[in-house]
Amino acid sequence: MLKLRRFNIICGHYGSGKTNLALNMALKGALEGKKITVVDLDTVNPYFRTAEYKSLLSEYDIELIAPQFAATNLDIPSLPPEINSIFLKNDRYVIVDVGGDDAGATVLGCFSARIKSIDDFSLLYVINKYRPLTQTGAEADEILKEIESASRLKATAIVNNSHLQGITTSEDILSSLKYAENVSSLTALPIEATVVPDFLEQELKDKINNLYPVKIIVKPPWAN
């Protein structure tokens, strides 16, 4: 099971499912009675941002810190002034949704020293076998190196998020396991969880040890 730590950073390739994972982690934490703060640091992709789900998060009393112009028709990269407060929230669990690849991770470099000083910290590298440019272990390894260089931080674990949203089959998940193991071997990082859409949980629960079921919350704009 994916462990929620005091400070959680979610990074990966564009479209790997970072935002959907971040939202699910936040909602699960809130349902467990934890105080959650979600930070939208995606200053790159205007289509998949946690800020788009502000009303959903507010239903669970989850605090959202997002760029000033997120969820508007202005696509202007900016950091919210409240960003510095996340390092002072010792009573809360912080989940940071980072923009894709090295371009999105660059902003983390500004806070790398402060992040490294946090004891209970994770930087989860989200991988998806079914996304372009990360379909092989070598490709996923290369993108991680770019993210780590840009952010000046080291990933702590891998999350295998290889699914196809609502059309995912059990075979899609099972066939991604060797891919994830290859990425783990190349990066020397443990696989902390394998994500599955919740409608496949019962079918796969006895076949995958570190299974993490999620609701498909984030969908492409054209699917709405």
Can you give the pLDDT at residue 47?
47
Please name every residue paired with 214 in a beta bridge, in sequence order, or none if there are none. 197
**Tens digit of pLDDT for each residue in 133-176?**
999 999 999 999 999 999 999 999 999 999 998 899 999 999 99
Task: Decide: pTM greater than 0.95.
Answer: no
Distance CA 76, CA 81 (A): 15
pLDDT-based confidence at residue 75 (cuts at 50, 70, 90)? very low
State the average pLDDT over residues 194-209: 96
Helices (H), 91-209: 101-105, 112-116, 137-151, 170-174, 177-187, 201-204
Architecture of domain 7-219: 3-Layer(aba) Sandwich (3.40)
Q: Which residue has the higher pLDDT, 66 or 170?
A: 170
Query: Which of 5, 63, 7, 2 shows the shortest CA–CA distance to 36?
Result: 63
Q: Indicate the SS3 state at residue 131.
A: coil
Can you give the pLDDT at residue 73?
45
Dihedral sign for Cα atoms in the order 51, 54, 56, 60: positive
Task: Write down the domain spans for the chain.
Answer: 7-219
**Tens digit of pLDDT for each residue in 19-61?**
999 999 999 999 999 999 999 987 665 544 676 888 999 999 9
Strands (E), the chain: 7-12, 36-41, 63-65, 93-98, 121-127, 157-160, 191-197, 211-214
